[in-house]
């Protein structure tokens, strides 16, 4: 069933909140309803004009006619609203499944550093020092041509994308927090990282965008730059004939170890695309213009490949209701207001949190007081600057974490909140194994030295204070079925079956 609040219908505004039930109670598929609507309209019109003739023969014809007109108008208006939210927008369904990156290394410190770099924030000295001292340390002054993502093998799941004609497959990272579609050029791939390189001359549909270039500068002074072409790009069968493809020619050496990632597909709004002198549209916006696919969905999974769909909503992928809330795209992101949060079985607090939905950020980054509220319920949890954030004994029981979407709540299982064990071997200071009254600083807590960092784990929730933006990253998005509805400037969340996290 489709439920839309009446006040938005009367004001003729796009409803910022819609609930679509996934229960299989339809007498026929939703798309079939759309196909019979013209016949329903015709029937009502015939009935309407028949009534005109009938009513004209009776004294109370005028009054009855007004009542019937209101009824017909109401039914037609309802049908129009239903047509506005079909299961498939273009009549076709485009779907693509992720594949696992065999070189992925889960590392909390690097995941946090990625968010800093991505949003142009200089790494704190403690975070930068910790990262440099890890086993993957590289010479800071090395330069060359390499991949443009800011950390080593941080994309766990990649998505196949076909570019050019004949098509060539690239394993790409889908990122709703940026708006550039980039790949390796021959110069960038020459370092031998094993990435697939894009060569415009190999495609008979490529066209150089004369004078167009791009440059991405990260907060730690790492950068990528190159030229731009137009070429055919296809994702899950959804083909865009002349998509802007940014070809990386020069990037800093620090990114070379991304050995299985061939590029990135930005799915934020086109207003933050970095191509100069004229910005280019994202793949999503280009596909919408060409095919009318004004929404896409992300069904990401924990420890399993997820699925992206374009132009339709797979109602069998979620349970209960799909709840939408308005998106503020003024900064180019999928920004929305969460109505509150809860730890464990507590009721949602009335604490609004404005953040962005970002599939390109691994962690859940929220205000410091939200972190404190959560980790105060985790035995042995503490803020450790050398580790990069909140850590806790790996055998601690983690409570669930919920965030509000309008009057609904999306719950992240506690098992998802344990991101990974620490990957260093240095001893850390932990509090005594007791129920904490609140998280403490590792430097100030009166505790004892733990045996090895491998017994400590890094939390999936960390502070957004230094980053300057709240981010609902993959930790949150894997816990829900998410609809990115660009046509109505809204984002929708629904609950879905969640498998237990692997041990």
Pick the most confident of 87-91, 419-423, 479-483. Answer: 479-483
Q: Peptide bond preceding 366: is omega within 30 degrees of 0, i.e. cis?
A: no
CATH class of the structural domain 94-295: mainly beta
Any catalytic annotation for residue 175?
A: yes
Percent of residues, the chain, with pLDDT higher than 70: 63
Give me the pLDDT at residue 116, please: 84
Residue 484 pLDDT exceeds 70 = yes
What tens digit of pLDDT does each residue of 5-45 get?
A: 322 223 233 444 444 444 332 222 333 334 444 444 444 44
Report the alpha-carbon distance of residue 91 to residue 310 in Å, rounded. 11
What tens digit of pLDDT does each residue of 165-191 get?
A: 999 999 988 999 999 999 989 887 665
CA 304 to chain centre: 16
Higher pLDDT, 503 or 252: 252
Give me the pLDDT at residue 121, please: 84
Which has the closest alpha carbon to 373: 393, 402, 397?
402
> What's the rounded mean pLDDT across residues 399-425?
90
Which of 42-51, 224-233, 253-262 is predicted with the least confidence, judged by mean pLDDT? 42-51
List 175, 231, 400, 474, catalytic entry? 175
Give me the pLDDT at residue 124, please: 74
**pLDDT band, residue 499 (cuts 50/70/90):** confident
38-46 contacts at long range (C-beta below 8 A, 24 or more positions apart): 40/79, 41/76, 41/79, 44/72, 44/75, 44/76
Residue 282 pLDDT exceeds 70 = yes
Residue 136 pLDDT exceeds 50 = no
Instruction: CATH number for 318-495: choose from 2.30.110.10, 1.10.10.60, 3.30.420.40, 2.40.70.10.
Output: 2.40.70.10
User: Would you give the DSSP letter of residue 151?
Assistant: S
Common-topology check for domains 94-295 and 318-495: yes
Tokens of 94: 């485009």
Provide the 3-class DSSP secondary structure of residue 410.
strand
Q: Count other C-beta atoms under 10 Å from residue 384's C-beta.
A: 25
Judge residue 213's burial from the number of C-beta atoms within 10 Å of its C-beta, 0-12 exposed, 13-18 middle, 19 or more buried: middle
Pairing between strand 181-184 and 238-251? parallel
Q: Count other C-beta atoms under 10 Å from residue 53's C-beta.
A: 9
Give me the pLDDT at residue 89, please: 60
User: The whole model's pTM is what?
Assistant: 0.75
> What's the rounded mean pLDDT across residues 44-66?
42
Domain ranges of the chain: 2-83, 94-295, 318-495
Q: What average pLDDT does the chain have?
A: 75
What tens digit of pLDDT does each residue of 138-171 get?
A: 333 322 222 223 333 445 678 899 999 999 999 9
Percent of residues, the chain, with pLDDT higher than 90: 50
List 231, 358, 384, 400, catalytic entry? 358
Any catalytic annotation for residue 299?
A: no
What tens digit of pLDDT does each residue of 210-239 get?
A: 999 999 876 556 677 899 999 999 999 999
> What's the rounded mean pLDDT across residues 35-61?
42
Residue 439 near residue 459, CB atoms below 8 Å: no
What tens digit of pLDDT does each residue of 299-340 get?
A: 999 888 889 999 999 999 999 999 999 999 999 999 999 999
470-472 sheet: strands from edge to edge: 335-338, 353-357, 470-472, 364-366, 461-463
């Amino acid at each position: 069933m489709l439920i839309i609040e009446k006040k938005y219908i009367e004001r003729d505004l796009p409803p910022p909140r819609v609930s679509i039930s996934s229960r299989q109670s339809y007498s026929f598929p939703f798309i079939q309803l759309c196909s019979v609507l013209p016949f329903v309209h015709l029937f009502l019109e015939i009935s309407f004009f028949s009534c005109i003739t009938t009513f004209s023969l009776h004294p109370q014809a005028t009054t009855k006619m007004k009542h019937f007109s209101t009824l017909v108008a109401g039914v037609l208006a309802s049908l129009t609203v239903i047509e506005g939210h079909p299961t498939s927008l273009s009549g076709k369904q485009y779907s693509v499944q992720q594949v696992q990156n065999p070189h992925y290394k889960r590392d909390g410190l690097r995941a946090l550093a990625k968010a800093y770099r991505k949003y142009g924030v200089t790494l704190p000295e403690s975070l930068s020092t910790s990262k440099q001292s890890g086993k993957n340390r590289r010479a800071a002054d090395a330069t060359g041509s390499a991949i443009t993502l800011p950390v080593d093998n941080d994309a766990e799941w990649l998505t196949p994308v076909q570019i050019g004609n004949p098509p060539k497959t690239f394993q790409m990272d889908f990122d709703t927090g940026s708006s550039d579609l980039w790949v390796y050029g021959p110069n960038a791939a020459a370092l031998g990282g094993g990435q697939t390189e894009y060569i415009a001359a190999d495609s008979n549909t490529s066209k150089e965008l004369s004078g167009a270039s791009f440059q991405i500068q990260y907060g730690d002074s790492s950068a990528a730059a190159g030229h731009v072409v137009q070429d055919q790009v296809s994702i899950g069968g959804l083909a865009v004939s002349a998509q802007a493809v940014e070809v990386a020619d020069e990037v800093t050496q620090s990114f070379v170890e991304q050995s299985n990632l061939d590029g990135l597909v930005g799915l934020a709004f086109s207003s933050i695309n970095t191509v100069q002198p004229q910005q280019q549209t994202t793949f999503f916006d280009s596909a919408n213009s060409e095919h009318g696919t004004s929404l896409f969905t992300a069904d990401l999974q924990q420890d399993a490949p997820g699925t992206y769909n374009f132009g339709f909503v797979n109602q069998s992928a979620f349970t209960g209701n799909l709840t939408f809330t308005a998106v503020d795209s003024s900064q180019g992101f999928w920004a929305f207001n969460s109505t509150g949060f809860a730890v464990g079985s507590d009721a949602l607090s009335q604490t609004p949190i404005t953040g962005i939905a970002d599939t390109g950020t691994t962690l859940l980054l929220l205000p410091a007081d939200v972190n404190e509220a959560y980790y105060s319920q985790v035995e042995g949890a503490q803020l450790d600057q050398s580790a990069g954030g909140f850590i806790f004994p790996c055998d601690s029981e983690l409570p669930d974490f919920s965030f509000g979407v309008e009057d609904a709540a999306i719950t992240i299982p506690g098992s998802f909140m344990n991101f990974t064990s620490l990957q260093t071997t240095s001893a850390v200071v932990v509090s005594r194994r007791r129920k904490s009254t609140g998280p403490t600083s590792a430097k100030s807590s009166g505790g004892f030295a733990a045996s090895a960092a491998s017994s400590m784990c890094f939390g999936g929730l960390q502070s957004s204070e230094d980053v300057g933006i709240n981010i609902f990253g993959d930790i949150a998005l894997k816990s829900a079925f998410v609809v990115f509805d660009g046509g109505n400037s809204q984002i929708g969340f629904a609950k879905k079956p969640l498998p237990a996290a692997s041990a």
